[in-house]
Structure 1
Amino acid sequence: MRDFIKDKLDTVYNDFCEAAKVSDGLCPLKDFSFAGGESPDYSDPLVRKYYMLKYFPGYMAEYYLMYEHLFDEKFLSNTVINILSLGCGCGVDYWGFHFAATKKVKNHQKSSSYTGYDIIDWEYRDSMGHDKHVFFETEDIGNLKKLDYDKYNIIVFPKSISDFPDEVFATLLKAIENTKFKKKKIAILCSFMTNDSKKYDFNRLTRLVKVFEEQHGYKCLDKANEYFHMKDKDVGLNTVVPGFDYTLPIKKTIFKTLENCPNFIENGKSCDQECSNMNQYPILKTKYVNYAIRRLKKDQK
């Protein structure tokens, strides 16, 4: 994991620096925020690179813990794993799955598949050598009539369940209602963005589970308000995730992102006070780990 993170960070950071040099300025980054349920403008390549530098190692670590937790439950033991990721971005959740499954699932490279949906065609997607089993669909899930595969048994929302507009989420629920699932066991994994949005996220997760219960005859084995977080929220992810690391020089530089702005370099100062908002540390501590697992089981007939 350590080498993978380093190589990916180096690539993204070099691309970010080159893009910053030829940009008209880094103004879009001063508005980079998830406050109030808003999302950054992922259609901007510079924003996507900045997102990767700030979040990818920390979120991958969280997804590693989430999948490890699921595998320790032995809920999907001795079965082919077919993952559907909704709002997958560049597939950071797949990387977390890969490292957890390498440790917990025998021959997972041959007995698992991953399909990720996102409306944006993200850079840096990486199947980690498993091109025949990893697929990315650049598509608006608001256009789905039903899911493209009836054998999914893991459905994951990687920090994304609150991103979808209400009408899009309603369409997704209808598409799931219209899909005839063939697996007797399905796990829904939902990683929450912040504590502020948890109530909203739980509401959507509850609605999703309800569709499986009422339309497909599954029973949920988990409590409706249950979620997982670290008891000690102020420790480094490197203490709980083997191989987690963040390249120190890049960490220091990201906290001084403003200094890469062409306008700042030319004028020797920022355009306004809000410019300093782009100076942010990456996710390095366990306090951002928040996820829920819902195990759904259909009785054999």
Structure 2
Amino acid sequence: MKYDSQFVDRVLERFHKSFNRSAHRWCEFSHDGLRAQAYRSTIYQKLYVLRYFPAYYLEYCILASLLKRRLGDAYSSVQIASFGCGVCPDFHALKANLEGLDFDYIGYDSCQWSTRKLIALEESDSLGFQHVHIKSLTPVDLDEVDVFIFPKSISDLGQTGGLEHLAETIAATEKHRVFFLNSFVYGGGDRDDSDLRRFDIIHAALERKGFITLDDRETTHIGRKGMGRGRSLRAITHDYAYPQAHFITCARKGSKAECQGCNVVKYPVVTNNFMGFQLLEYNRLSPARDLGWWR
């Protein structure tokens, strides 16, 4: 697994500088939680990136390396779709970990995420973005996709509607082998049950089309094998670091009543408390196929 710390440092530096230019407006958002409808604000987008990007990028790096291992030599290129992609940290994790494998990535999000422009791209990057609601997607849009990603997004997608439609659209593929990289929002228990249950909708749609999975879809992972929750992300990779220079600090801290419980001046995520990921492979069985050919 490769974690590109220099790339992450550049992202944090750009977003930190841009976010600081809006310091006079921080108090407007000091008691609003990070919620889906708030992401339309560029200030919220920058705050979200500064708090979560390094941790989530690391999680997607792990998933990307697991995918590379699972694909083996069977693929020279793959098509990837990400739902609720935001600023596309999963794309950059894939880019770092799918060396030697060509891939085309398209991100779908109902929010524009205009701050994506703060993350520099290379000319060779095969990244597309569509500002659409998942209800508008058709089987034609997804029929060539090999890998589907839900980057901490399935909860929001389930709440905003359209998950059933997306499930049927995915299941309508003519592919016989597809992969899911799922990253769930940790809910405070030992497992991410609410998000897992939302994925049941997709699992059921795939089953109706003759797909099965031998992966454990009831289990999510929080880092290295045997690692407990609450561990530093540096225990996963020493390449991880969050420079203190990019922490959010406020010169007015403590000077106003609304400083109590401020949601802006908070530490970024530096532990695996928010991790919960899984890789699932689905294969379509037919009378001419059996499990012997699979692995």
Which whole-Å CA distance do the structure 1 matches of 2:138 and 2:27 have between them? Answer: 39
1:144 is aligned to: 137
Closer, same or farther: CA 190–239 of 1 in aligned 2, 3 Å: same
Counterparts of residues 156-235 of structure 1 (less than 5 Å) = 156-164=149-157, 165=159, 167-177=161-171, 179=172, 181-196=173-188, 198-215=192-209, 217-230=210-223, 231-235=227-231
Deviates most, 10-19 or 278-287 = 278-287
1:117 is aligned to: 108
Closer, same or farther: CA 62–198 of 1 in aligned 2, 3 Å: same
Which whole-Å CA distance do the structure 2 matches of 1:151 and 1:40 have between them? Answer: 31
CA contact (8 A) 1:228 1:292 kept: yes
Write the deviation string for residues 242-261 of structure 1: whole angstroms up to 9, x where unpaired. Answer: 5322122112xx2x3xx26x
Structure 2 counterpart of 1:98, from 95, 111, 123: 95
Which whole-Å CA distance do the structure 1 matches of 2:73 and 2:260 have between them? Answer: 48
Which whole-Å CA distance do the structure 2 matches of 1:127 and 1:294 have between them? Answer: 31
Closer, same or farther: CA 121–60 of 1 in aligned 2, 3 Å: same
2:27 is aligned to: 26
Q: Tell me the secondary structure at the aligned position of residue 144 of structure 2.
A: coil
User: Could you state the TM-score of these two structures normalised by the residue count of structure 2?
Assistant: 0.84
Q: Tell me the secondary structure at the aligned position of residue 80 of structure 2.
A: strand
Shift of the alpha carbon at 1:241? Answer: 3.0
CA contact (8 A) 1:213 1:220 kept: no
2:292 is aligned to: none
Instruction: Write the letter of the residue equivalent to 1:288.
Output: F
Write the deviation string for residues 105-132 of structure 1: whole angstroms up to 9, x where unpaired. Answer: x2x2xx2110100111211255742556
Which whole-Å CA distance do the structure 1 matches of 2:174 and 2:126 have between them? Answer: 19
Instruction: Write the letter of the residue equivalent to 1:205.
Output: F
Deviates most, 290-299 or 66-75 = 66-75
1:3 correspondence with 2:6: yes
For these two proteins, the number of residue pairs brought into alignment is 276
User: Could you state the TM-score of these two structures normalised by the residue count of structure 1?
Assistant: 0.82
Instruction: Write the letter of the residue equivalent to 2:241.
Output: D
1:239 correspondence with 2:232: no
Shift of the alpha carbon at 1:218? Answer: 1.5
1:71 is aligned to: 68
Shift of the alpha carbon at 1:77? Answer: 3.6
Closer, same or farther: CA 100–234 of 1 in aligned 2, 3 Å: same
CA contact (8 A) 1:188 1:293 kept: yes
Shift of the alpha carbon at 1:168? Answer: 2.0
Which whole-Å CA distance do the structure 1 matches of 2:96 and 2:238 have between them? Answer: 10
Closer, same or farther: CA 249–278 of 1 in aligned 2, 3 Å: same
Which whole-Å CA distance do the structure 2 matches of 1:128 and 1:243 have between them? Answer: 22
Closer, same or farther: CA 167–113 of 1 in aligned 2, 3 Å: same
CA contact (8 A) 1:237 1:284 kept: yes
Instruction: Write the letter of the residue equivalent to 1:69.
Output: L
Structure 2 counterpart of 1:286, from 272, 278, 282: 272
Structure 1 counterpart of 2:38, from 36, 41, 55: 41
1:135 correspondence with 2:128: yes
CA contact (8 A) 2:47 2:264 kept: no
Q: Tell me the secondary structure at the aligned position of residue 129 of structure 2.
A: strand
Closer, same or farther: CA 227–76 of 1 in aligned 2, 3 Å: farther
| Percent identity of paired positions between Structure 1 and Structure 2 | 21
Which whole-Å CA distance do the structure 2 matches of 1:29 and 1:140 have between them? Answer: 29
CA contact (8 A) 2:186 2:274 kept: yes
CA contact (8 A) 1:145 1:174 kept: no
Instruction: Write the letter of the residue equivalent to 2:106.
Output: T
Q: Which ranges of structure 2 fall in alignment gaps of 5 or more residues?
A: 289-295
1:272 is aligned to: 258
Q: Which ranges of structure 1 fall in alignment gaps of 5 or more residues?
A: none
CA contact (8 A) 1:31 1:40 kept: no
CA contact (8 A) 1:228 1:290 kept: yes
Write the deviation string for residues 79-129 of structure 1: whole angstroms up to 9, x where unpaired. Answer: 421111000001011111111213xxx2x2xx2110100111211255742
